[in-house]
Amino acid sequence: MSPPEMPALREYLGPELKGRTISDACHDVSLTDILRSSCLIGRCRELSGRSVLIATSGQLLSALAMIELDGIARRMLLCPPDLDPDRIPALLADAAIDAIVTDRPLHRCDAAAHLIIGAGLPEQAAVGWKTERATEWLMLTSGTSGLPKIVGHTLEGLAGAIIAEGPARHPNATWATFYDIRRYGGLQIFLRAVIGGGSMVLSEPGETIADHVARLRAGRVTHISGTPSHWRKLLMSGAAANFSPRYVRLSGEIADQAVLDGLARVFPDASIGHAYASTEAGVGFTVDDGLEGFPADLIGRNRDGVEMKVLDGSLRIRSRRTAHAYIGAEAPPLVDAEGFVDTGDMVELRGERYHFVGRRGGIINIGGLKVHPEEVEAVINRHACVRMSRARSRRSPITGAVVVADVVLADCPDPGRREAIRMEILGRCKDSLAPYKVPAVIRFVERLDVTAAGKLARADA
């Protein structure tokens, strides 16, 4: 048992700071009073030292369980909402899970082999937990390339960027995120709310953007985070008009200049930052100057314990914020011999700045020439009439593949303008991209799907 190197989550909560809450669409729970009660039902004292799957139907109960069990359980595996139930038995085995906290019947695990503890609103008597250990935090990768993998973190690593900024960075914040907090990007925001002394408004699956924004306003949200796809959807909805956060954060996908400029127009009083983070590599850095990409001088030196280098075109990160391992019997190594995580995110130096160009696995091969869909999308998105776009590969009998683009137009202009817009987009692509990267076909579509992890769905990637 390793002694905790930083306080457990519960130690950031207490009666001193009044009025702290965490809420979803149905419930509002006081964080100020949270230590006076328990959300766990049954033989919960037996969770001490166990490897626990947190498998609640909603985010709120998961949040309460994380607060209670950090520093108590040996490890906690956070179960995201979109997890394929058929995967659960393999995950239980890989993570050596021996207890499950849940609020619903479980069909795919053997109740006899696991301690099952119920979860509900915090209406039980407090257990009086005392921090015993540094709990290992296990999360799943979003599985955009293959099956999701389990990665292991510590609270110290997860909170590394938050601690480095210091609590004064975002005082009296009420945080929100379009993410689910059981994924890395959302968990960062939950931890910011708890560790930074703030409150939190959770997202709700299936909620319309207008209803969500109404809750964000009612909850007086000041700080909010999402992927560029989340933000494009918000910009498209027109629902942002009466919402004025102080801090707007993007992460999880490439923040191109178009979405940064769009957010700056809609939220003129907000500070806008885009962060680079991944489930494996942790939080790398945050850029606050409103420009896409990141300054080249972030590469090659140690800043706040984060070192980055570019090798074979991909960004590599070594820091105490990275996960320490993939978990499971046949888990591959997570870091190289020098301790760097290969993020698989490809970057390109242009002048004094590195720009993200795409994922290594997402490359389209046009007769031997490589195209990242994201670099094509970045050009298309710069057109004022475009809200979002997706470039993808279509097989071709001549070149093996061609690039085609699906484009969602903003505030659909009159149909007569569409051909002109198509030609303008093609013209811009020709001006800024090599000929083989210019989409062969541009289709206008009503909408583009976003995955449960908040990323543009790339079926062929």
Partner 1 sequence: MSVRSRIFSAMQQIAEEQKVTLPPLRDDLPLPDTGFDSLAFAILVARLEDDLGIDPFTVAEQAPFPSTVGEFVRAYENVPA
State the residues that interact with partner 1 by CB under 8 A.
366-367, 394-399, 402, 404, 426, 430, 435-436, 440-441, 443
DSSP strand pairing (223-226 vs 199-201): unpaired
166/435 with CB nearer partner 1: 435
Q: Give the helix, strand, coil percentages of the chain, each rounded to 5.
A: 30, 30, 40
Q: Which is nearer to partner 1, 9 or 402 (CB)?
A: 402
- Among residues 8, 162, 22, the alpha carbon closest in space to that of 76 is found at 8
**Smallest separation (angstroms) from partner 1 to the CB of 379:** 16
Region of residue 390 (left: phi > 0; alpha: psi -120 to 50; beta: else): beta
Least Cβ distance, residue 313 to partner 1 (angstroms): 24
Pairing of strands 115-125, 99-102: parallel
For 404: left if phi > 0, alpha if psi spans -120 to 50, otherwise beta; the answer is: beta
| Amino acid (one-letter) located at 376 | V
Dihedral of the alpha carbons of 186, 110, 127, 137, in degrees to the nearest 10 = -30
Between 83 and 440, whose beta carbon lies closer to partner 1?
440
Quote the least distance from Cβ 26 to partner 1, whole Å: 46
- Residue 460 CB, shortest distance to partner 1, in Å, is 15
Smallest distance from partner 1 to CB 447, Å = 19
C-beta closer to partner 1: residue 34 or 429: 429
232 sits in which H/E element: helix 228-237
Strand ranges (E), 49-113: 51-55, 75-78, 99-102
CB of 430 to partner 1, least distance (A): 7
Is 248 or 403 the residue whose CB approaches partner 1 more closely? 403
CB of residue 390 to partner 1, shortest distance in Å: 16
Identify which of residues 243 and 444 has a Cβ nearer to partner 1 in the complex.
444
And the tokens for 51?
Answer: 């490897």
Cβ distance 120 to 41 under 8 Å? yes
Phi and psi at 92, nearest 5°, equal -60, -40
Q: Which is nearer to partner 1, 27 or 417 (CB)?
A: 417
CB of 403 to partner 1, least distance (A): 9
Cβ nearer to partner 1, comparing 168 with 398: 398
Phi first, then psi, for residue 330 (nearest 5°) are -110, 35
**CA 84, CA 321: separation in Å to the nearest integer?**
28
